[in-house]
Amino acid sequence: MSDEVRVFLVDDHRLFVSGVRSELGSSFSIVGEAGDAEQAVAGILETSPDVVLLDVHMPGGGGAAVIRTVAPQRPDVRFLALSVSDAAQDVIEVIRAGARGYVTKSIAPDDLAGAIRRVHDGDAVFSPRLAGFVLDAFAGESPPSLDPELDQLTTREREVLRHIARGYAYKEIARQLHISVKTVETHVSAVLRKLQLSNRSELTRWATERRLI
């Protein structure tokens, strides 16, 4: 059932890394781990994993810095951000740097495994809180912009995000909205893209504060 997704762990909390290792070890192949940004970049470039499980806060630069360094050289590597922090700027920073999703460290092991597979398949993973934040950030009038498509959510996307915030899994959302799981995934990926590319001030504010732009 498992197609042996190759996972690389980046986290400076050894206890957490060993916990995740034992949880995921049976269904994934853990190809390496790193405790800081520098090690992470070197390790990822060397092992070329499928998915990098990436802590947002680390010594020597955050997860976003790792993504920005690695992504141009290894475009196939996918990143799933993992953090204890719900602070919007942290989440948005790492998503805008290129992470395909974000989950909190309190996530159940099964859900984490599911999220890794989803990211590996090229889909996006939103925690309920991230979904809530996106709804908040995209609420209200969209600012005048070159690409209005990017700066607002469609009704359907809103609906999907609401369900994620309400705690529904993709499969359940599909059933509730009478659409296929694939369609749900498409909607979430579209939202992720908007999250990464939109110029909405709610999103760019964090980015400019951290001098990302």
75-104: contacts with other proteins (CB under 8 A) = 84-87
Q: Which of 20, 31, 165, 195 binds other proteins (CB under 8 A)?
A: 165
Under rule CB under 8 A, residue 139 binds other proteins: yes
User: Is the CB of residue 157 less than 8 Å from the CB of residue 205?
Assistant: no
Q: Which of 8, 79, 168, 206 binds other proteins (CB under 8 A)?
A: 168
Under rule CB under 8 A, residue 162 binds other proteins: yes
Q: Where are the beta strands (DSSP E) in 68-212?
A: 78-83, 101-104, 125-126
Under rule CB under 8 A, residue 106 binds other proteins: yes
How many chain residues touch other proteins (CB under 8 A)?
A: 18
Task: CB nearer to other proteins: give 135 or 177.
Answer: 135
Phi/psi region, residue 65 (left: phi>0; alpha: psi -120 to 50; beta: rest), is: alpha
Question: How far is the C-alpha of 82 from the C-alpha of 127, rounded, in Å?
Answer: 10
Under rule CB under 8 A, residue 166 binds other proteins: yes
Q: Which of 103, 132, 188, 191 binds other proteins (CB under 8 A)?
A: 132
Task: CB nearer to other proteins: give 30 or 165.
Answer: 165
Question: How far is the C-alpha of 122 from the C-alpha of 183, rounded, in Å?
Answer: 13
Count how many residues are written for the chain. 213
Cβ 95 to other proteins shortest distance, Å: 17
User: How do beta strands 51-55 and 29-34 pair?
Assistant: unpaired
Question: How far is the C-alpha of 81 from the C-alpha of 71, rounded, in Å?
Answer: 14
Q: What angle do CA 55, 13, 192 make, to 5 degrees?
A: 10
Task: CB nearer to other proteins: give 26 or 106.
Answer: 106
Question: Which residues are near other proteins by CB under 8 A?
Answer: 84-87, 106, 108, 128-129, 131-132, 135-136, 139, 162, 165-168
